Amino acid sequence: MHYSTITSKGQVTIPVEIRELFSLSTGSKIEFIPYNDYIIAIPLNKSVKNLKGILPKPDNSLSCEEMNNIIKENHDRD
C-alpha cells in the first residue's frame, strides 16, 4: 500500500513507485473522479482503452429508453 498526506493547500505527493509505474512526471495531468466512497485518479497520459473494466458492472442493465426516462424525470424535478 502507498500512502500520502494532504497538505493544508490540498496537495498530495504521489509516491515515486506509482509515478514510475504510470510514467507520471512534472506537469502530468490527472483526472479525479468521485465514485461512491472512493476517488479514482486517472492519468490523462494513458489511452482511453486502458479504462475498460475500471468500474464494476452494474447489477442490472437499462435500455436506452429507460435511461432517457430517468434523465427526463430528474430534469423535470429541477
Q: What is the pLDDT of residues 23-74, one digit of tens each?
A: 888 888 999 999 999 999 988 876 667 677 777 888 888 899 999 999 998 8
Backbone angles phi, psi at 44, to 5 degrees: -85, 0
At 54, give phi and psi (nearest 5°): -70, -30
C-beta of residue 25 within 8 angstroms of C-beta of residue 19: yes
What burial class does residue 19 get, using C-beta atoms within 10 Å of its C-beta: 0-12 exposed, 13-18 middle, 19+ buried?
middle
Q: Phi, psi (5° rounding) for residue 55?
A: -110, 145
User: pTM here?
Assistant: 0.52
What was the pLDDT predicted at 15? 94
